[in-house]
Amino acid sequence: MIDVILQAFASIVLDPVTLGLMLVGTLAGILAGAIPGFTIAMGVILTLPFTFGMTAIQGLATMLGVFVGGFSGGLMSCMLTGIPGTPSSVATTFDGFPLVRSGRPGLALGLGLWSSFFGGMISAVILVALAPQLAFLGLEFGPWDYFSLIIFALTITVSLSGGNITKGLIAGLLGLFAATVGEDEINGVARFTFGFDEFKQGFAFLPVLIGLFAFSQLLTDVEDDKRAKSPLMSQSGSVVKVEHRQAILIILKRWVNLFRSSFIGIFTGILPAAGGSISNILAYDQAKKASPNRSNFGKGEYDGVIAPEAANNATAGGALIMMMALGIPGDIVTAVMLGALMIHNIIPGPTFIQDEPLLAYGVFIAFFVAHFFMVGLQAFSLRIFLLVTKIPMYVLASVILAYCAIGVFALHNVVFDIWVMFFFGVIGYFMKKLGFPLAPMILGVVLGKLAELNLARASGISDDLLLFISRPWSLFFLLMAVISVIFPFYQEARKDSLFSKFYVPMSMIVLSLPLFLMGSPVRMIVATILVLTGVYFLYKRTSSLKTT
């Protein structure tokens, strides 16, 4: 084990090429995160074509640099201009910007920067500790369980991606359908090719992803003629000296907030589809509720900067846990990383850490190292950021559209892939206009083949469909899927409604059933805790109903 870790360490830290790539990746991530209209996912997607020529570890390390850099990049724009660079830094604006306006820009940036660093470090430790354990758990999964896990991943993506649940489900199903085009992997039979030879290979996942996400986003960015022609930011910040020492001391004094926010970030990251955009708001909200200086929030409170920044960087580690342990991408970024691994013929799954220990530990180490780069590059990237903000969006969009075409072509050296990207770009653009969330469709495309393969394996082993509900893990994920589908209705329900009062306790009690069925002592204890907590909540809420 130690020699594998040392080898992985050497492949990252002692390889100047990998370090250089990570450095460039982190810088690109910071800039992508800082520019409004760009997202971290877009930064990672656009990095992908460059990784085709790299080794798997170099490619992943570069993308991790972009991923980590992107989370902290958002804080520059939101603090200096009041405009969040990414949805992950929305809550940072609430107190970061007032702190800058009150004459402490150096401290504000320092707090954001070091909170991101510490949050990332905490999640990196959890990633290293938890991913192998979760992978061991994954070894218990049969095809029934995997299929149900995929169904859960899709339904929770639908329920958390916001908006209309029907449209979300339709988007997910369209993604699943897109993955069926071409020769099926089980029988090698052509499906929905309509006589075109090009369709036989199916739609490659990356052109679909770049089209749906990057291409459609660029079209949206240039939609407004006036906005497209004006510089990226009308307000521009100025270079400031970051107050590192003072910021670190303040954060360490508020360690409870730091740890709480980091754990919120990690947990949100583990949940499929719930990324930094949710965790930063959740952490801010919890920090506000727990703070004795609640009235200072929104006026430049330190805790209001620490919480969202620690949470959003910690989300990255959480998302990686699911991808590394189970091969299920938690969000678009990890879906792209999964795609990058597949290009190198590596299929992540429960055996990934055992089969590819060098790569797996390389990812852990790269995740650590990227955080040091992120801190080191902040001052330099601030200067570049101020230059980039002067460029109008139409210039960036035009150049990136061409770059997308070149990058997609590089995947298989076929022009058909560029057509696929264009086709899905147009679909993605109109879906967004019509209020369909894109995340479920992307996850549908990524997970479609895996779902079908596991369903085929399950039906090949046994015709008994009841296995989907009689196997504890499968039942657990199916129940989670049902709970996640109902979740948006819970969010919309009035606080005093019966449904709203009983949703959480009933979900806890229901979820304890498969845990009891699993039989192991630890899971029985967890199930008992779930039941007892559920019953307690039920009792409390029922008695509150009686009194009213």
Closest approach, Cβ 220 to another protein, in A, equals 8
In 3-state terms, what secondary structure has residue 191?
strand
Site residues for another protein, 231-260, by CB under 8 A, read none
Tokens read off for 477: 């994920």
When the beta carbons of 187 and 547 are compared against another protein, the nearer one is 187
CA distance 377 to 103: 23
Stretch that binds another protein, among 293-301, 403-411, 496-504, 510-518 (CB under 8 A): 403-411
Closest approach, Cβ 514 to another protein, in A, equals 24
Q: Is 27:21 a contact under the CB 8 Å cutoff?
A: no
| DSSP element (H, E) containing 190 | strand 190-191
CA distance 454 to 457: 5
Stretch that binds another protein, among 16-24, 64-72, 221-229, 244-252 (CB under 8 A): 221-229
State which of residues 64, 66, 78, 176 lies at the interface with another protein (CB under 8 A).
176
Site residues for another protein, 193-212, by CB under 8 A, read 194
Tokens read off for 507: 């979900």
Residues 6+ apart with CB under 8 A from 408: 49, 206, 207, 210, 417, 418, 420, 421
State which of residues 166, 234, 235, 470 lies at the interface with another protein (CB under 8 A).
166
| DSSP element (H, E) containing 381 | helix 357-388
Tokens read off for 135: 């992978």
Phi and psi at 474, nearest 5°, equal -60, -45
Does the protein bind another protein through residue 527 (CB under 8 A)?
Answer: no
Closest approach, Cβ 363 to another protein, in A, equals 22
Closest approach, Cβ 57 to another protein, in A, equals 17
Site residues for another protein, 413-452, by CB under 8 A, read 413, 415, 418-419, 422, 426, 429, 434, 451-452
Does the protein bind another protein through residue 53 (CB under 8 A)?
Answer: yes
Cα separations (Å) of 172 from 155, 209, 307, 492, 537? 8, 14, 32, 21, 34
- With 0-12 / 13-18 / 19 or more C-beta atoms within 10 angstroms meaning exposed / middle / buried, residue 82 is middle
Does the protein bind another protein through residue 55 (CB under 8 A)?
Answer: no
Transcribe 220-240 into DSSP letters: HHTSSHHHHHSBS-SS-----
Closest approach, Cβ 444 to another protein, in A, equals 9
Does the protein bind another protein through residue 401 (CB under 8 A)?
Answer: yes
CA distance 360 to 348: 10
State which of residues 398, 482, 490, 504 lies at the interface with another protein (CB under 8 A).
398
Residue numbers of the site for another protein (CB under 8 A)? 49-50, 52-53, 166-167, 169-170, 173-174, 176-177, 180, 184, 186-192, 194, 218-220, 222-225, 228-229, 392, 394-395, 397-399, 401-403, 405-406, 409-410, 413, 415, 418-419, 422, 426, 429, 434, 451-452, 455-456, 459-460
